[in-house]
Amino acid sequence: MTEKQVEELSPEDDEIEIEGKIAELPTPRAVTTQYGQKRITTVKFEDETGTIDLTLWEEEIDAIEEGVRVRIEGAYVREWADDVQLNIGRDGNIEQIEE
């Protein structure tokens, strides 16, 4: 896994490890997927170098709170509707860490 900062992220990055803060945690919305109804939200993730949208699903949403520092492992970056977004892979993890 590669440790990165927000300013270094590019749309083809895979297997990233990154630490930062959840700057904004909007209310999740419901979407219908091939696996049924799921909750999704796009939070603002920030570190000293910048801010990026981070897409969270289901239990990932429940694992964090607004304003906390988190460590993300197994993340990847994709471009979606002209917007670069950080996503957590199927085997990835997000956890709250002490400042």
Domains and their CATH numbers in the chain: 2-88 (2.40.50.140)
Q: How far is CA 85 from the centre of its chain?
A: 8
Among 56, 66, 61, smallest CA distance to 86 is for 56
**Model pLDDT for residues 46-83, shown as the tens digit of each residue:** 999 999 999 999 999 999 999 999 999 999 999 988 88
pLDDT for the residue numbered 82: 87
pTM of the model: 0.91
H or E segment and range at residue 80: strand 69-80
Q: Is the dihedral of CA 78, 80, 36, 68 positive or negative?
A: positive
Task: Output phi, psi for 14, to 5 deg.
Answer: -135, 155
Q: Give the ranges where 4-77 is alpha helix by DSSP (H).
A: 58-62
